[in-house]
A and B are shown apart, each in its own frame.
Chain A
Amino acid sequence: MTAAEPILPLVLEGVGFEVAGRALLSGIDLRIEAGRRLVILGPNGAGKTLLLRLCHGLIAPTSGRLRWACGSQRPEAQAMVLQRPVLLRRSVAENLAYPLALRGIPAGARRAAVARMLDRFGLAPLAERPARLLSGGEQQRVALARAALMAPQILFLDEPSAALDPSATRQIEEMIAGFSAEGITIVMTTHDIGQARRLAEDVAFVHRGRLIEHRAAPDFFAGPDAPEARAHLAGDLYW
């Protein structure tokens, strides 16, 4: 990774998102610190994915604003793994090289960077395989490796191990922990409370489009203030 200007913290000030007069997110004040692992929890439809897409700059808020520390509107040193990542109809190696080509990195340097990433995550035997024909777990590892190749300072992950079996989930979590150890800031959503306990340093709890709790993970898991969050942890069915 290049020693680039730090883009974090990212500060959200009164961020809201409305569609046809319906507020899907409203009044979000959130500060995302460099180097932390933030897990966003909340029930389906609470606005977790929307929050990630807003932070990543895929959509613009309809109210409030986002401020990156570097002053840029949308810094390049970020990446996101979508809930259903789209791999191109090409080989694994070509998929990994694609974002580097977009940035104008020369072919020789691309090949070297891709080879390093393939080795690092044990993907080298799959390098020439068509990416779309891999198993779900393999595809997810390719998507994570592709995101990591973008040299992000912050990595957004939307349900990174949804629909994966325990062994694939474990591989994904190891990759995430590895990125975090390198200093990459992690912001992820999950439905898996166990995964949240394993990975979170901070927890943000979103309910009906509002951020109702944001604190250090040990405090949160010891007993959240909000009754909705307590119910979520207890696995109650509430709405």
Chain B
Amino acid sequence: MDNPLLMALRLIAAGDPALLQIIGLSLRVTLTAVLVACIVGLPLGAALALGRFPGRGVVVVVFNALMGLPPVVAGLLVYLMLSRSGPLGPLGLLFTPTAMILAQTILILPIVVSLTRSVVEDLWSEYGEQLRSLGAGRVRAVPTLLWDGRVSLLTGVLAGFGRASAEVGAVLIVGGNIAGHTRTMTTAITLETSRGNLGLAVALGIILLGLTLTLNALAWGAGQWARGRLG
């Protein structure tokens, strides 16, 4: 039997088009999901930190709990919504990259919301009186605190990226692992491993690890730089 590691290196070195296509789709799906989760989750988390309304505690607990939502359950929910008989069935989104983005957004959102809430709550206890003195109310404080918490918030966004790029259950259920269309790195690893095609599986595994490592290194570097620069 061929050494899977050698095979992997050969595939990477050759720039195999099927491999590149899978990597491209995975990045597109996960990065879009991260972006959408940030657009929704950053203001939502800040509102949760600064807002005072009945039931706030329940919402906080629910978002904290949803950080542990199993990806297959998230996939199942989106599947039920998008399937032919589901409420969003007529859109015809099941087994498309859009469905995968939706499922991953649901996985990332609780992480972004909960971390933003905790960062903004801490900042508000430090900044609150000063901001009120300068004339900023709670609503106007939201963009200020998000910007001043940007270094800490980056960690939450990264955790979200890590969760989405590592999961296989949600994209498998709603994407269907269709070659050339909805096959991502994680679903391909599952499939190729079960087929005994270990070379491609290991190649994808190495690339996935490499990407995660690179992104985290960049974020850590940015964080260190910002801490030194911003105090």
In the complex, identify which listed stretch (A62-70, A85-93, A108-116, A164-172) lies at the interface while the others stay far away.
A85-93
Closest to A86 in B: B130
Using Cβ atoms and an 8 Å threshold, which residues of chain B touch A86?
126-127, 129-131
Query: In the complex, what distance in Å separates the CA atom of A146 from the CA atom of B130?
Result: 12
Q: How far is the CA of A133 from the CA of B227 in the complex (A)?
A: 10
A103 to B140, CA, bound (A): 11
Give Cα distance in the complex from A82 to B136, angstroms: 15
Q: Is the interface of B mostly helix, strand, loop or mixed?
A: helix
- B130 near A82: Cβ-Cβ < 8 Å: yes
Residues of B near A102 (CB, < 8 A) are: 134-136, 140
Whose C-beta in chain B lies nearest to the C-beta of A88?
B148
Q: Which of A72-124 contact B (CB under 8 A)?
A: 76, 79-80, 82, 85-86, 88-90, 98-99, 102-103
CB distance from A107 to the nearest CB of B (A): 16
Determine whether the beta carbon of B134 is less than 8 Å from that of A99: yes
Contact A89 B230, beta carbon cutoff 8 Å: yes
Nearest B residue to A56 by beta-carbon distance?
A: B133
Quote the shortest CB–CB distance from B160 to chain A (angstroms).
22
Which single member of B131, B133, B148 contacts A80 (CB below 8 Å)?
Answer: B133
CB distance from A136 to the nearest CB of B (A): 13
- When distances are taken between beta carbons in the complex, the residues of chain A under 8 Å from B230 are 89-90, 130, 132-133
Tell me the complex Cα distance, A53–B140, Å.
21
> A32: CB under 8 A from chain B?
no
Q: A88-B148, A133-B231 are in contact. Are A99 and B135 (CB under 8 A)?
A: yes
Q: Which of A53, A88, A99, A150 has the most CB of B within 10 A?
A: A88
What secondary structure prevails in chain A residues at the interface with B?
mixed
B214 contacts chain A at the CB level, 8 A cutoff: no
Residues of B within 8 A of A (CB): 126-127, 129-136, 140, 144, 147-148, 229-231
Q: Give the chain A neighbours of B126 by CB distance below 8 A.
A: 86
A193 sits at the interface (CB 8 A)? no
Q: For the complex, what is the distance from the CA of A102 to the CA of B141, rounded to whole Å? A: 10
Q: Known contacts A88-B148, A130-B230, A132-B230; is A58 also within 8 Å of B129 by CB?
A: yes
Q: Which residues of A contact B133 (CB under 8 A)?
A: 56, 58, 79-80, 82
Given contacts A82-B129, A130-B231, A132-B230, contact A88 B144 (CB under 8 A): yes
Bound Cα distance A95, B98 (Å): 42
Q: How far apart sit A98 and B130, CA to CA, in the bound complex (Å)?
A: 12
Q: Which residues does chain A contribute within 8 Å of B130, judged by CB atoms?
A: 82, 85-86
Query: In whole angstroms, what is the CA distance A40 to B59 when docked?
Result: 45
* Cα(A80)–Cα(B133), bound, Å: 7
A130 and B134 within 8 A (CB) = no
CB distance from B132 to the nearest CB of A (A): 6
Find residues 117-153 in chain A having any chain B CB closer than 8 Å to their own CB: 130-133, 146, 150
Q: Tell whether, in the assembled complex, residue B135 and residue A103 are in contact, meaning their CB atoms are under 8 Å apart.
A: yes
Cα–Cα, bound, A43→B134 (Å)? 28
Closest to A131 in B: B231
Distance in angstroms between the alpha carbons of A82 and B126 in the assembled complex: 12
Q: How far is the CA of A58 from the CA of B133 in the complex (A)?
A: 7
With both beta carbons as reference points, the residue of chain B lying nearest to A85 in the complex is identified as: B130
| Alpha-carbon distance between A76 and B131 when the two chains are bound, in angstroms | 14
> 20 interchain pairs (CB within 8 A)?
A56-B133, A58-B129, A79-B133, A82-B129, A85-B130, A86-B127, A86-B131, A88-B127, A88-B144, A88-B148, A89-B148, A89-B230, A90-B230, A99-B134, A102-B136, A130-B231, A131-B231, A132-B230, A133-B231, A150-B135
Q: How distant is the Cα of A98 from the Cα of B135 in the complex, in angstroms?
A: 10
Question: With A58-B129, A86-B126 given, is the CB distance from A98 to B134 under 8 Å?
Answer: yes
User: Which 10 A-B residue pairs are closest in the complex by CB-CB distance?
Assistant: A132-B231, A86-B130, A133-B231, A89-B230, A99-B134, A89-B148, A102-B135, A80-B133, A130-B230, A86-B127
